[in-house]
Amino acid sequence: MMGRSDDSNGTVYHVRPGPQGSLLSIEDFSLWYGQAQALFDINMKVEKGLVTALIGPSGCGKSTLLRAINRMNDLIAGLSTGGNIYLDSLDIYGRDVDVIGLRKVMGMVFQKPNPFPMSIADNVSYPLRVDGIRDRRTLLETVEKALKGAALWDEVKDRLHENALGLSGGQQQRLCIARAIAGDPEVLLMDEPCSALDPVATSKIEDLIDELRGRYSIVIVTHNMQQAARVSDNTAFMYLGKLIEYGETSVIFTNPKVEKTMEYVTGRFG
């Protein structure tokens, strides 16, 4: 079923609605790095429990938009924003928002795996320990559940107390996903999570994203169009800081409604 078509601000919109409605609502959102505008009036809803891919050529604003969702951009000097982003009814840019709390609800996974220089178990339990949880049993249960959730348990269950930096790159990235889900977030924001991984590790992460679908709402930035086509339900195509087309992934890749999207997905520029 197609969602609404809305080209009032130039975006052609035909998303697949999630069975549980939308979770994030980005409304007329703009962002400036100093004088330079990087995002222009973005309007999009992220459907709950679905996987949403952000695609577009280098510099089009994908990472900027992803980081705007959990206010990771906040610390950049000279940054300003306009418009709103809502998580359910919470105004993410509202004055009284607890940004630390917000980031707990939105786990983030980066391009390069960034495990902390501590044991595998301590990495995963980190978000709980930061919250002051010390009960060993609770911590161990969470570690097991999160590692199982990240499809890493079988590979590491006998060396939970070894340093995480001894894991392979692909294992480290799954560990980072385990750490992100240990805090029980609603949203997982992934910024090119496979770009530093080999094809086998990449395919494991893609399988994992598929398994996490439904439980979490996932927003993934990717340069890899095959990956966007394989893992996502909806795809947002961005160009020069604007959201050009946002729709059901199968339509975006086979029969997009906008010529620019067609040119990009068929590799005519990028």
List residues binding ligand ATP (CB under 6 A). Answer: 33, 38, 56, 58-64, 76, 223
How many angstroms separate the CA atoms of 159 and 179, rounded?
16
Question: 249 with 235: CB under 8 angstroms?
Answer: yes
If the CB atoms of residues 104 and 223 are measured against ligand ATP, the closer one turns out to be 223
Radius of gyration (Cα) for the chain, nearest Å? 19
If the CB atoms of residues 167 and 189 are measured against ligand ATP, the closer one turns out to be 189
Q: How far is the CB of 37 from ligand ATP (least distance, A)?
A: 9
3-class DSSP assignment, residue 252: helix
Q: Would strands 187-191 and 242-248 be described as parallel, antiparallel, or unpaired? A: unpaired
How many angstroms separate the CA atoms of 258 and 72, rounded?
31
Q: How far is the CB of 240 from ligand ATP (least distance, A)?
A: 9
Which tokens in the block code for residue 182? Answer: 């240990």
If the CB atoms of residues 16 and 264 are measured against ligand ATP, the closer one turns out to be 264
Q: How far is the CB of 99 from ligand ATP (least distance, A)?
A: 18
Q: How far is the CB of 28 from ligand ATP (least distance, A)?
A: 18
3-class DSSP assignment, residue 257: coil
If the CB atoms of residues 72 and 128 are measured against ligand ATP, the closer one turns out to be 72
Which tokens in the block code for residue 115? Answer: 């495990």
If the CB atoms of residues 58 and 89 are measured against ligand ATP, the closer one turns out to be 58
Q: How far is the CB of 177 from ligand ATP (least distance, A)?
A: 20
Burial 84-93 (b: 16+ CB within 10 A, else e): ebbbeeeebe
